[in-house]
Structure 1
Amino acid sequence: MKALLPLIILALLAGTLISLGIGQDTGYIRITIGHYLVETNFWVGAGFFVLAALALHWILNLSHRLRVTPGALTSWMRHSGQRRARRQTTRGLLELAEGNWGRARKLLEAGASKAETPLINYLSAAEAAHEQGDDEEAEVLLRKAWESTAGSDLAVGLTQAKLQLSAGKLEQALATLLRLRRKSPNHPFVLKQLSNAYMALEDWQALSELLPELRRQAVMDDESLNQLEKKVWLNVIDQAAERLERQPAEHRNLDHLDRIWDQLPPARREDDAVILHYAQHLAELGYETRAEALLRKVLRRNWSDELINLYGRLKGNRADEQLLMAEGWLQERPNNPELLLALGRLSLRNQLWGKAREYFETSINVKRKQETAAELCRLYAHLGQYEQSVRLLRQGILEHHGLPELPMPEPRRARERQSH
């Protein structure tokens, strides 16, 4: 208040003097500009002059401030654009997550130019375009993503491969991933996507060569990797066997199949499913003796019901030795139904009919199995025991179809009714 008091006193004095001046003489001002004439008293003209001076002073002051800090307005506009871009990006990502592809693509593209991370906008917009079925536009957006951010080759390439795999463009996806692997040979996600491409193309041989690197880089957990490894080698064996089956029997060469067996990782060479697969193909290709020798070696170390079942079906070099070997295993597993079934078959191969029947009957008493019942039924018929064969056959049919319990006529009464 003390600072304002002199100004207030000065303003009052000025107002008093102006009032006295107006009262004594209003004065006269006349201004002529071309055809225009302006007339007013002195005091009104003076008031306009003061107002004009104040306005000019304000304009000059504002102009001076803008000239001194030219970045202020630019900075404000830039931050405003970034805020709008962030809102568009956030909303676009939400629309993408909700499956609103068209809306997501529009928002993400609109915010890309001012976004702090335009790479994310363009990659997400490319995914939205792909979901709309517009793969050409997706490629354009991927190109913009690559151009927007230095060092984005890997991110853009992985997104491109993902979209190509999704679209079923398997060869293009494989080419993209192989290019990425040359640049980043140990990148886990590149390796995983490459394994997906090989699997989709059913290129099991190439995938088998990739497996060691997948394990070294810990691309997936051990259980998943073991399952994949098993699937891959089963298919590699299948493909090699199929090629051999298409060749004439006299020109078949097992060298390639043998090399595959030698290349198997140690864990797979002890896997019952892989061993069974390999032995079955050997037998189907006409190499039963090799399959029998392999299974004999494996069964000495590790027992498997699946392998002993196949062992009983194979014809080795010496049928008597094969039977003796299996009977030796019976001492440790006297009630194993699969071993008893195999012994019955090996007894048939040695023409020991009675022993074969005993083994089959013992096996079916331990565990009733359609395969064993069929073998025993066939043997009964060839031994002339038709009633037992028909009874066993009927039981097998009834069990197979799961018929309900229903009342049936007595056999004698049924014959009497038929005679009448």
Structure 2
Amino acid sequence: MKHLLWLLGLFAAAVAVMLAARNPGYVQFVYPPYKIEMSLTLFVFALLAGFALCYLLVRLAVVTLRLPEYVRTFREERATSKGRAAMIEALKAYFEGRFTAAEKAAVRAMELGEKSGLNSIVAARAAHELREFDRRDAYLAGAEGKTVGESTMRLMAKTEFLLDQKQPQSALNSLKELSDSGMHKHIGALSLELKAQQQARNWDAVLEVMAQLEKRNAIDKTVATQMRQQAWLEKLRSQALDIATLRAVWKSIPGEFRHRAKIAAAAAEAFSKLGDCKSAQQLLADSLNAQWDSELVALYGECHNDDNIAQIEQAERWLKQHTDDAGLLLALGKLCMHQQLWGKAQSYLDASLSLETSQAAYAALGQLAEKLGKHEEALAYFQKAM
């Protein structure tokens, strides 16, 4: 269809030229004493040629006047292209682990006029990996005052740097600045906050951030459980200052964690140190009834009251189910010794040693021999314990 239209146009032009050539009209210009005559056809063609010539001259003048601006634009575009290529080179080098090359490429991109704040961040990250902290901080300062997205990159990078240098409070301040800027805490920011709170030993905050990450399915359940256990464990150790505070902390621990051996052991030790052996015995018994642990049962023998008969009876009930548990036999031996049941204490401690040689069992036998006035025998046991 297009070719047909061109063909029709050519035919029409040919007909117009033929008609113009046969036109008998003419044009006369008079300027006394001169007179010029020409055919109408020639005048029309001359007029069109003059118009075309004037148009070309005007276009040439415009292009000439715009030439400096064109050259400037061309140079800027070429510099921008080189800057963008340098930025891509910096990113590639950084993710390949070539940090020196990454820093140099990012600096070159900035020198070529590449305005993206990404160059400053890449240069800062590369300098940080090279342990050039002064240069890193200078690059970060250069990235300040950019757009919201670039400001977020800067603050995230700054937080990571501070955490690597074990400055959790400064890292938390950086995250607060990110939050104050209106940026919603995304998973990356929450992960950094979790690490910062752990370093700062803010265990309540750790548990709170963990809940947010779990809500977004951003952390493995097994890892989350281990981190929660560690948080409760550290909270127990750090807040066991008085018996009222310790009881409040213990009460706030979820049931699934109370029966875990490490937490139960830490709580029992804390209660014992503060003189509340009854609570220590009870929580150990609850934990052992829920889930047996040989190391935990050994602690059961460390908690002494004026009357340990109930404890001994409980331990002997466990012995019916765990006859070959050296830790349980050791605990029974210690409880009987404290209750001055010397014969039973001797038999339980000997039975524990027959199952598993341990420093604690030898030390307990040495103490028993000493109480019975067998000093040479006690010395022998103490030497074996050492």
TM-score between the two structures when normalised by the length of structure 1: 0.68
Change (3 A) 1:67 1:184: same
Change (3 A) 1:345 1:187: same
Number of residue pairs the alignment of both structures matches:
325
Give the secondary-structure state (helix, strand or coil) at the position aligned to 2:133: coil
Q: Which residue number corresponds to residue 87 of structure 2? A: 89
Distance 1:170 1:396 in 2: 43
Cα shift readout 1:85-139 (whole Å, capped 9, x = no counterpart): 133223434565423276345324224x336xx1311211233455422255234
1:331: Cα distance to partner? 0.6
Q: Matches of residues 42-191 of structure 1 in structure 2 within 5 Å?
A: 63=60, 66=63, 76-93=74-91, 96=94, 97-100=97-100, 103-104=104-105, 106-111=107-112, 113-114=113-114, 118-128=116-126, 131-134=131-134, 136-143=137-144, 146-147=145-146, 149=147, 151-181=149-179, 183-191=182-190
Query: CA-atom RMSD, angstroms?
Result: 3.2
Give the secondary-structure state (helix, strand or coil) at the position aligned to 1:313: coil
Change (3 A) 1:109 1:164: farther
Q: Does 1:346 align with 2:345?
A: no
The answer (yes or no) to whether the contact 2:175–2:193 under 8 Å persists in 1 is yes
1:259: Cα distance to partner? 2.2
Q: Does 1:279 align with 2:254?
A: no
The answer (yes or no) to whether the contact 1:188–1:218 under 8 Å persists in 2 is no
Instruction: Structure 2 unaligned segments of length 5 or more: list them.
Output: 1-53
Sequence identity (%): 23
1:391: Cα distance to partner? 4.5
Distance 2:183 2:305 in 1: 52
Distance 1:167 1:324 in 2: 54
The answer (yes or no) to whether the contact 1:207–1:232 under 8 Å persists in 2 is yes
Q: Which residue number corresponds to residue 315 of structure 1? A: 304
TM-score between the two structures when normalised by the length of structure 2: 0.73
Q: Which residue number corresponds to residue 29 of structure 2? A: none
Q: Does 1:224 align with 2:213?
A: no
Give the secondary-structure state (helix, strand or coil) at the position aligned to 2:332: helix
Cα shift readout 1:324-356 (whole Å, capped 9, x = no counterpart): 111111111111111111111111122110111
Change (3 A) 1:218 1:180: farther
Distance 1:237 1:395 in 2: 35
The answer (yes or no) to whether the contact 1:204–1:232 under 8 Å persists in 2 is yes
The answer (yes or no) to whether the contact 2:333–2:345 under 8 Å persists in 1 is yes
Q: Matches of residues 12-27 of structure 1 in structure 2 within 5 Å?
A: none
1:74: Cα distance to partner? 6.3
> Which one-letter code corresponds to 1:107 in the other structure?
R
Cα shift readout 1:356-414 (whole Å, capped 9, x = no counterpart): 100111110111111111211332343344564455445445xxxxxxxxxxxxxxxxx
Cα shift readout 1:195-216 (whole Å, capped 9, x = no counterpart): 1222222222332333212321
Change (3 A) 1:79 1:185: closer
Distance 2:207 2:344 in 1: 46
- Compare CA radii of gyration and give the structure with the larger one: 1
